[in-house]
Amino acid sequence: MNKIALITGASSGIGKASAVEFAKHGVDIIAIARRLERIVDLKDELEDKYKINVLPVKLDVRDKDAVLDYLQNLPDRWKNIEILINNAGLSKGLEKLQDGKIENWELMIDTNIKGLLYVTKAILPGMIERNSGTIVNIASIAGHETYIGGNVYCATKSAVLQLSKALRMDVLGYDIRVVSIDPGMVETEFSIVRFDGDKEKADKVYENITPLSAKDVAEAVWFAVSRPKHVTIEDMVIMPTQQASAVLNVKNYK
Ligand code: NDP
Ligand code: 8X3
């Protein structure tokens, strides 16, 4: 029986690329997202190409009751999750705090922090029972550094870094690894979401620079997960070569 990885936010970007990368290595996937049609298409593609199994699940990680209810009652065949990739997340808006929209703050906090916690709460007890598992949290360079307008998004990603550290302490003594992957600029739908669907504005972010691809990050996730059991990659910061900090890159360094 193949190992099972549960990936949140598998309908796009880093989550989708991670599903492809893990499928390539013979891992079965529970693919979670709100856009069901995308993860159903992903199932068809991956099952056909890599002969693994995919369970697409339409779930909003902010919905505590739905997350706990569904993930604590998975079909037997899907219960033994070996890898959890807490990837679902977003940034909405880039206003200074004084101009920020409270509904955007709540959306980021509810998704990036509370959603990650709900999913972890549902999956971790099984890992503890089996004394085996790897949890990968997708944080960000924004968790290490802040920037103008980054306020709440950066705070949520700092929280993810702290939660990864805390969890490593909480599971000490079990064969459970907790990994944080912290990318810089990755070209995905992230900026389209940040700028409320303004594709032109989003495209400008990635103009005249070579950002990371979702695949670059997915390969780093696979690297961390595929280390021997006694090795934990605690925290991997992965940046485009043309970006030297959250705000400094080849477009603005002079
Ligand atoms: P995308 O917008 O391409 O993907 C985000 C994914 O999260 C989608 O699959 C989306 O699925 C899912 N998602 C969002 N909200 C929810 C929700 N409430 N419930 C379930 N799924 C949800 O962006 P990225 O791939 O770039 O983002 C993935 C992660 O990487 C995020 O945590 C982001 O903060 C982080 N990151 C991104 C960087 C970048 O520059 N792109 C850099 C550093 C970190 P759906 O809408 O179908 O629900
Ligand atoms: C996304 C990277 O620098 O745009 O986490 O916040 S950044």
On whether the CB atoms of residues 19 and 13 are closer than 8 A, the answer is no
Query: Would the pLDDT of 5 be above 90?
Result: yes
Q: Give the residue, by CA position, lying nearest to ligand 2 atom 6.
A: 142
Is 243 inside any structural domain?
Answer: no
Q: Give the residue, by CA position, lying nearest to ligand 2 atom 7.
A: 142
Distances (CA, A) of 227 to 19, 28, 200, 220, 222: 18, 18, 40, 11, 9
Q: Residue 57's pLDDT is what?
A: 98
Is 249 inside any structural domain?
Answer: no
**What pLDDT, in 10s, does the model give residues 104-156?**
999 999 999 999 999 999 999 999 999 999 999 999 999 999 999 999 999 99
CA of 154 to the centre of ligand 2 (A): 8
Q: In the predicted model, what is the mean pLDDT of residues 169-183? A: 98
**What pLDDT, in 10s, does the model give residues 61-84?**
999 999 999 999 999 999 999 999
CA of 173 to the centre of ligand 1 (A): 32
The preferred substitution site among 140, 193, 249 for testing ligand 2, maximizing ligand atoms within 8 Å of CB, is 140
CA of 78 to the centre of ligand 1 (A): 23
Catalytic residue among 50, 153, 174, 253: 153
Is 55 inside any structural domain?
Answer: yes
On whether the CB atoms of residues 89 and 117 are closer than 8 A, the answer is no
- The H or E element containing residue 70 is helix 64-71
Q: Residue 227's pLDDT is what?
A: 98
Indicate the pTM of the whole model.
0.98
Is 220 inside any structural domain?
Answer: yes
**What pLDDT, in 10s, does the model give residues 190-249?**
999 999 999 999 999 999 999 999 999 999 999 999 999 999 999 999 999 999 999 999
Residue among 135, 23, 22, 10 nearest 83 (CA): 135
pLDDT band at 3 (very low <50, low <70, confident <90, very high): very high
The domain that holds 54 is classified in CATH as 3.40.50.720
The preferred substitution site among 141, 154, 245 for testing ligand 2, maximizing ligand atoms within 8 Å of CB, is 141
- The number of the ligand 1 atom at minimal distance from the alpha carbon of 39 is 47
138 CB less than 6 Å from ligand 2? no
Is 252 inside any structural domain?
Answer: no
CA dihedral 202, 204, 209, 214 (to 10 degrees): 10
Q: In the predicted model, what is the mean pLDDT of residues 22-27? A: 98
Ligand number nearest CA of 154 is 2
Q: Residue 254's pLDDT is what?
A: 83
Q: In the predicted model, what is the mean pLDDT of residues 180-185? A: 98
- The number of the ligand 1 atom at minimal distance from the alpha carbon of 139 is 44
The preferred substitution site among 145, 151, 160, 185 for testing ligand 2, maximizing ligand atoms within 8 Å of CB, is 185
Is 56 inside any structural domain?
Answer: yes
Is 99 inside any structural domain?
Answer: yes
Q: Is 206 a catalytic residue?
A: no
- The number of the ligand 1 atom at minimal distance from the alpha carbon of 89 is 32
User: From the centroid of its chain, how far is CA 10?
Assistant: 9
CA of 183 to the centre of ligand 2 (A): 8
Q: How many domains does the chain have?
A: 1
Is 250 inside any structural domain?
Answer: no
Q: Which residue range(s) make up the domain with 229?
A: 4-238
